Amino acid sequence: MDSLTSNRLAVLGSPIKHSRSPMLHRAAYRQLGLDWTYDAVEVKSGSLAMFLSKLGPEWRGLSLTMPLKQEVLPFIDDCDRVAQLTGAVNTVLLRRVNGRGTLSGYNTDVAGLVRALAEGGVTRAAHVTLLGAGATAASALMAAAELGTESVTVLVRDLQKALPLVDLGRSLGVVVDLEDFSGATRDDSDVVISTLPGGTMLPSPLPLVLRERAVLFDVAYSPWPSGVATSWQEAGGTVLNGLGMLLHQALIQVRVFVTADPFEPLPDEPAVLLAMRGALTRDAGRNDTGAHDSGPHDAVER
């Protein structure tokens, strides 16, 4: 790819107006000395095919958030292992191979979550409780496997919807048990990962002992604190919000767009991460007034 001509990027999704991804990516490319553009584009479910058909040679890559991470799969020419296993693509690299345009799909959510948990002091977990079975749940399950987790309890309202997570767990060597929220009794998890929208209220609080001892990682960050985070704070438990995941998954996306390899560190990567973190901190300060943000949709772009 020629960085002089292939220099346009964007995050797609709906709602997308208040996405923080443009701010993060622009900070990274400024630090790298790259004159690239990165915008937020409203693309609703059912409109992705039309958008992709109009992309010209100036386009380099796309970030995808809800509801497009599964919708894009039929258009992808090749996927990385994480995207294949989770069935979710949040990063698309556009390139030309033998004169033909191709779309390569990646999932940076898993790496973003693992790195965010490590920043919060969590590097191992024997048992994990997962809240919800939506688009981010598969990535959270794979992140749990990378922490050495032996078993995961998934709490959901609709057990049928969560059945694919059982199969994914088998492929990862993790035993997955499904339970209804109202029947949750297990209280020995090391980590609880909530993939629920920020405004979701559980039908009943999770066990007090669980909230006291387990670290809660909530992929939501706006509105904040979420209902789940509030119940954790009231119990005196440890809470991590989704901004760390947003930051670290974006860094891996920048790697993909710059080097075409999610495992290839950027030039002076610590400085790039610092620039992105600074931009996120400034933006978070402006949003402390309670302004609307794209919340969990944006937190899992990633």
Tens place of pLDDT per residue across the chain (302 aa) = 555 578 999 999 999 988 999 999 999 999 999 999 999 999 999 999 999 999 999 999 999 998 899 999 999 999 999 999 999 999 999 987 766 789 999 999 999 999 999 999 999 999 999 999 987 999 999 999 999 999 999 999 999 999 999 999 999 999 999 999 887 888 999 999 999 987 788 888 899 999 999 999 999 888 889 999 999 999 999 999 999 999 999 999 999 999 999 999 999 999 999 999 999 988 766 654 333 233 334 444 33
Superfamily of domain 110-240: NAD(P)-binding Rossmann-like Domain (3.40.50.720)
CA distances from 96 to 1, 6, 76, 240 (A): 8, 11, 13, 40
Maximum Cα–Cα distance across the chain: 60
CA distances from 270 to 31, 96, 119, 211, 267 (A): 11, 30, 14, 34, 9
**Looking at the domain 8-108+251-299, which fold is it?**
Rossmann fold (3.40.50)
What CA–CA distance (Å, rounded) separates 105 from 184? 36
The structure tokens listed for 234 are 């009231």
Is 69 catalytic? The answer is yes
What are the backbone angles phi and psi of residue 61, rounded to the nearest 5°? Answer: -170, 165
Task: Give residue for tokens 């995207």.
Answer: 83
Asked if 220 contacts 226 with a C-beta cutoff of 8 angstroms, the reply is yes
Instruction: Give pLDDT, residue 290.
Output: 34
Asked if 151 contacts 174 with a C-beta cutoff of 8 angstroms, the reply is yes
Beta strands in 181-295, from DSSP E residues, in sequence order = 191-194, 215-218, 239-240
Asked if 165 contacts 140 with a C-beta cutoff of 8 angstroms, the reply is no
Domain boundaries, the chain: 8-108+251-299, 110-240
Q: What is the pTM of this model?
A: 0.91
Domains 8-108+251-299 and 110-240 share a fold: yes
The one catalytic residue in 17, 44, 54, 69 is 69
The residues pairing with 130 across neighbouring beta strands, listed in sequence order, are: 154, 193
Q: What is the DSSP string of 275-286?
A: HHHHHHHHHHHH
The structure tokens listed for 277 are 């973190």
130 CB neighbour count, 10 Å cutoff: 28
Query: Cα 75–70–148 angle (5° rounding)?
Result: 120
